[in-house]
Amino acid sequence: MSARGSRRKGQGGDGPRSDVAPQPVRVRTVKEIAAIANVSVATVSRALQRPEVVSEETRRRIHEVVKRLGYTPNAMARNLRTARTRLVVALLPDIANPFFSEVIRGIEQVAYENGYSVLLGETQSSLVREQSYADMVAARQADGIITMFHRVPPIPVEGRLPVVNACEYVKDSSISSVYVDNVAAASAAVDYLVTLGHRDIAFVAGPATSPICVDREQGYRLALQRADIPANPALVAVGDFSIEAGERAVELLLSQGQSFSAVFCSNDEMAIGAMRALLSRGLRIPEDVSVVGFDDIRFSRYTSPALTTVSQPKTALGREAMTMLIEILNDPEVPPRKRVLSAELVVRGSTGPRGRGPGAR
Amino acid sequence: MSARGSRRKGQGGDGPRSDVAPQPVRVRTVKEIAAIANVSVATVSRALQRPEVVSEETRRRIHEVVKRLGYTPNAMARNLRTARTRLVVALLPDIANPFFSEVIRGIEQVAYENGYSVLLGETQSSLVREQSYADMVAARQADGIITMFHRVPPIPVEGRLPVVNACEYVKDSSISSVYVDNVAAASAAVDYLVTLGHRDIAFVAGPATSPICVDREQGYRLALQRADIPANPALVAVGDFSIEAGERAVELLLSQGQSFSAVFCSNDEMAIGAMRALLSRGLRIPEDVSVVGFDDIRFSRYTSPALTTVSQPKTALGREAMTMLIEILNDPEVPPRKRVLSAELVVRGSTGPRGRGPGAR
DNA sequence: CGGTTTTATGTAATCCATTACATTGCAGCG
DNA sequence: CGCTGCAATGTAATGGATTACATAAAACCG
């Protein structure tokens, strides 16, 4: 009988012999584990979730079976039952911006420490994509959102919005956020330039839609005011945070024949662009023009000269944001908080005492 | 009656009037939608999944209700039933490395286009974390993995491993990968240096555990050999891909008094570190020493001088990897493939004709 | 020793959508 | 007219875990 080649595989065969290829790894269910360990599914689940309520003896037996068979509970089934995915969405406009990567790293760390995973939501600033990630929360595919954007998409869920704003913040006070005091940080940077003797200080702003950019600009104004320097609107250019934008902004100022001995940029990438524009015009940094950035991304230490910048605690921002989100997820009743971390000016080689300035060419 | 303040909310009240706060958004289920639209749950599900099998009239009615009530099907329930999460894990050692961010961007794009989402798996090269992300596939919390690492963690699933290797590759031929021809690319870079007259060419290697680094080193050797330049082991230093490692490597070579007029680095970050080390020793780039990197990260265009480097098609690598993974997920029978994309040398300012070299100081 | 807790385990409901299979009604055809 | 076949919809099984509640056994107490 065993030689009858026409037997289709999987059919019949009640003896130990079998011509069916051995199933290498099988996906198991609690049921199987329960059957093999000779207990009920409830006991298996308990042995895995709250071992202390299961007797020593039984627990050991179950764990042995689980280990031997390489059983991993089906996360989807568990999630469905517990209504928790342990997934959070990190919403950000641009993953290639090293500032965000470092914030994400902080998020990831705390997430990992708490058994959460991070879903990457790069939006390219597209509203549609933003919304589609927000909808994942509505669809219960993720528990919450950390957004690094100045816009919080509407999430159709009942009760407390499981959202935390990192780096940016929205006016809506019902949303928790973590950020630095941008006004203070920016004005400290400009104060420093003033101390160095600069009076014609250009500013490369970020998009006005972002509150933190408005704050940085306000800090810039504030510092000028404190130093009794009249604000000169012609010295303010706007960019979109990209290197290229910084380059263009400074080129514009130079081509307009504006006279300035220092440039303060709303982020490091634009500062890098600014430096490039200055250098390619033959200007020396910091002898002719000083440059200050914002963020302190990893590369700003390695430009030449190294960039003086406002250092944001990037990883800490991410860690704190994730910590807050977990708090909210564990207890929707916790009141929303705004947490302000401190940023500090890091002086490097791109700033120096006032020199001739490009206007003096 | 309406003035009786003692009425507890939610209780009684059969008229249209009510002092109960309006329930703003309720989470709905198919059942509710079905009841309201006066059809069965099956029909609702069909109207949403395969509208063409539902009659015009019914479909319209259901969609109206769905829209009005803001119903989103519970993804976990669906996933459980369909055994698909539409989530993939992107495994990478370090999110702060801009090379990876750009690959991820490619992954994200294709993922989004195909209704998938990307779970970020930063491992910090830790085996434990690697494994814990791999286990998410076993737990059915993710459908597959794209790893940017030279190690593929074991995944206890039956059948075809839903894994694609991007940028790196493993010997195991059963795993699909996408990468560039590192030997050819590296040797082209070194060929170029030879063309410029360089003969003493240092090499800052990456970790030998990574096959692509071995390949790049082999490319370096090959080019030297083609030019009849004897390989000088003293000119080879090893780093771990970080800026600091590049800096240290070159400092080491310099402090050993090695003589070289060019350095080829296994990645851009180390090249940036190398440049920093050279400049801080007062050497000029490229007049004294030429520097070549590998990857072409966004910042290498903005170093001064701008970095000559081997440009990898980063986004394309990511896109292709995700495309392959989706193929595998849709049909586990598709044979594994190794796809080789082309990389090309981008000449910028950090390379020039042979100069004095640091040995001539 | 009867009665009350406590401890360990089992039974079955539940989470919510998908889908195989069953049913109904109607058009088409010989 | 009766039968077949198709279209539209419904009923109920299913996916795999968690957990409220039920039950059994053991421990404790006066």
A50 touches strand C (CB under 7 A): no
Q: Which positions of strand D lie within 7 Å of protein CB atoms?
A: 7-12, 14-20
B82 touches strand C (CB under 7 A): yes
Residues of chain A within CATH 1.10.260 domain(s) are 30-73
Give the minimum alpha-carbon distance from B198 to chain A in angstroms, rounded to a whole number.
25
pTM of the shown model? 0.89
Q: pLDDT by residue (tens digit) across A124-143?
A: 999 999 999 999 999 999 99
Identity at B2, one-letter amino acid code: S
CA of B333 to C1' of C22 (A): 35
H/E element, A248:
helix A243-255
CA of A344 to C1' of D24 (A): 67
CA B239 to each of CA B212, B249, B276, B350: distance values in angstroms, whole numbers, following the listed order:
14, 7, 15, 20
**Cα separation, A288 vs A351, whole angstroms:** 10
Q: Which residues of B touch A24 (CB under 8 A)?
A: 158
List b or e across B212-243, with b for residues whose CB sees 16 or more CB atoms inside 10 angstroms.
bbbbbbebbbbbbeeeebeebeebbbbbbbbb
Number of other residues whose CB lies within 10 A of the CB of residue A232: 16
Instruction: Extract the tokens encoding B207.
Output: 């970790």
* C-beta atoms of B105 and A112 within 8 A: no
What pLDDT score does A284 carry? 96
Taking the domain A83-180+314-341, which CATH number applies?
Answer: 3.40.50.2300
Give the minimum alpha-carbon distance from B28 to chain A in angstroms, rounded to a whole number.
10
* C-beta atoms of A302 and B276 within 8 A: yes
Measure CA A283 to chain center: 36
Q: Among 3.30.70.260, 1.20.1370.20, 3.40.50.2300, 3.30.1370.60, what is the CATH number of B182-311+345-360?
A: 3.40.50.2300
CA of B55 to C1' of D6 (A): 14
Half-sphere exposure of B279 (CA within 13 A, CB side): 19
To which residue do tokens 């050991």 refer? Answer: A60
Closest-CA residue in chain A for B277?
Answer: A302
Helix, strand, or coil here: A103?
helix
DSSP string, B213-243: HHHHHHHHHHHHHHTTPPP-GGGEEE--SSH
* C-beta atoms of B96 and A101 within 8 A: yes
CA A217 to each of CA A203, A221, A231, A245, A351: distance values in angstroms, whole numbers, following the listed order:
8, 6, 11, 17, 19
Give the minimum alpha-carbon distance from A284 to chain B in angstroms, rounded to a whole number.
12
Q: Which residues of A touch B136 (CB under 8 A)?
A: 75, 117
Residues of chain A within CATH 3.40.50.2300 domain(s) are 83-180+314-341, 182-312+345-360
What pLDDT score does B357 carry? 47
Instruction: Extract the tokens encoding B136.
Output: 């998410």
Q: Under 8 Å CB-to-CB from A281, ≥6 apart: which residues?
A: A251, A254, A358
* C-beta atoms of B156 and A122 within 8 A: no
Measure CA A279 to chain center: 32
Among the partner-chain residues A96, A118, A299, the one whose CB lies closest to the CB of B105 is A96
Nearest to A169, CA basis, from A135, A116, A213, A234? A213
H/E element, A210:
none
Q: Which residues of A touch B24 (CB under 8 A)?
A: 158
To which residue do tokens 């309406």 refer? Answer: B2
Helix, strand, or coil here: B50?
coil
Return the C-alpha torsion angle B190, B192, B196, B197, nearest 10: 40
B83 touches strand C (CB under 7 A): no
Q: Which positions of strand C lie within 7 Å of protein CB atoms?
A: 7-12, 14-20
Nearest to A178, CA basis, from A345, A344, A343? A343
Interface test with A, best of B92, B116, B117 (most A CBs within 10 A): B117
Taking the domain A182-312+345-360, which CATH number applies?
Answer: 3.40.50.2300
To which residue do tokens 């780039």 refer? Answer: B285
Q: pLDDT by residue (tens digit) across A258-308?
A: 999 999 999 999 999 999 999 999 999 999 999 999 999 999 999 989 999
Q: Under 8 Å CB-to-CB from B89, ≥6 apart: which residues?
A: B118, B119, B120, B121, B133, B134, B136, B137, B142, B144, B145, B146
CB B264 within 8 Å of CB B203: yes
Instruction: Extract the tokens encoding B311.
Output: 């440009």
CB B135 within 8 Å of CB A72: yes
Q: Under 8 Å CB-to-CB from B196, ≥6 apart: which residues?
A: B262, B290, B351, B352, B353, B354
CA of A80 to C1' of D19 (A): 13
Instruction: Extract the tokens encoding A336.
Output: 């929303």
CB B349 within 8 Å of CB B286: yes
Phi, psi of A155 (to 5 degrees): -120, 115
**Cα separation, A160 vs B124, whole angstroms:** 34
CA of A40 to C1' of D24 (A): 15
Q: How many CB pairs under 8 A join A and B?
A: 141
Give the minimum alpha-carbon distance from B2 to chain A in angstroms, rounded to a whole number.
27
Closest-CA residue in chain A for B141?
Answer: A75
What pLDDT score does B158 carry? 79
CB B241 within 8 Å of CB B97: yes
Crossing angle for the helix pair A75-82 and B75-82, to the nearest 10 degrees:
150
Residues of chain B within CATH 3.40.50.2300 domain(s) are 84-180+314-341, 182-311+345-360
Phi, psi of A33 (to 5 degrees): -60, -45
Return the C-alpha torsion angle A313, A319, A324, A330, nearest 10: -170
Interface test with A, best of B135, B299, B314, B348 (most A CBs within 10 A): B299
Give the confidence band of A361 by pLDDT, cuts at 50, 70, 90: very low
Nearest to B99, CA basis, from A271, A98, A303? A98
H/E element, A308:
strand A308-311
CATH number 3.40.50.2000 is the correct assignment for the domain at B84-180+314-341: no
What pLDDT score does B360 carry? 42
pLDDT at A3 over 80: no
Give the minimum alpha-carbon distance from B97 to chain A in angstroms, rounded to a whole number.
8
Closest-CA residue in chain A for B135?
Answer: A72
**Cα separation, B278 vs B248, whole angstroms:** 11
What pLDDT score does B267 carry? 97
Return the C-alpha torsion angle A170, A100, B303, B214, nearest 10: -170
pLDDT tens per residue across all 361 residues of chain B = 333 333 333 333 333 333 333 445 677 899 999 999 999 999 999 999 999 999 999 999 999 999 999 999 999 999 999 999 999 999 999 999 999 999 999 999 999 999 999 999 999 999 999 999 999 999 999 999 999 999 888 888 878 899 999 999 988 778 999 999 999 999 999 999 999 999 999 999 999 999 999 999 999 999 999 999 999 999 999 999 999 999 999 999 999 999 999 999 999 999 999 999 999 999 999 999 999 999 999 999 999 899 999 999 999 999 999 999 999 999 998 999 999 999 999 999 999 998 654 544 3
B176 touches strand C (CB under 7 A): no
**Cα separation, B313 vs A91, whole angstroms:** 25
Taking the domain B30-73, which CATH number applies?
Answer: 1.10.260
**Cα separation, B179 vs B146, whole angstroms:** 13
B78 touches strand C (CB under 7 A): yes
Q: Give me the mean pLDDT over the A215-223 stretch.
A: 97
**Cα separation, B59 vs B173, whole angstroms:** 49
**Cα separation, A332 vs A336, whole angstroms:** 10
Nearest to B171, CA basis, from B349, B338, B291, B319? B338
* Mean pLDDT (chain A, rounded): 90
List b or e across B117-137, with b for residues whose CB sees 16 or more CB atoms inside 10 angstroms.
bbbbbbbeeeeebbebbbbbb
pLDDT at A18 over 90: no
To which residue do tokens 């009858």 refer? Answer: A4
Whether omega before A286 lies within 30 degrees of 0, making that bond cis, reads: yes
List b or e across A11-43, with b for residues whose CB sees 16 or more CB atoms inside 10 angstroms.
eeeeeeeeeeeeeeeebbebebbbebbebeeeb
Counting residues of chain A whose pLDDT is more than 70, the rounded percentage is 91
Which protein residues have a C-beta closer than 7 A to any atom of strand D?
A 27-31, 41-42, 45-46, 48-49, 71, 73-74, 77-78, 80-82; B 38-43, 46, 53-55, 57-59, 77, 80-81, 83
Q: pLDDT by residue (tens digit) across A163-188?
A: 999 999 988 778 999 999 999 999 99
Q: pLDDT by residue (tens digit) across A294-351?
A: 999 999 999 989 999 999 999 999 999 999 999 999 999 899 999 999 999 999 999 9
**Cα separation, A166 vs A277, whole angstroms:** 31
What pLDDT score does B21 carry? 38
CB A193 within 8 Å of CB A201: yes
Give the minimum alpha-carbon distance from B119 to chain A in angstroms, rounded to a whole number.
4
pLDDT at A21 over 90: no
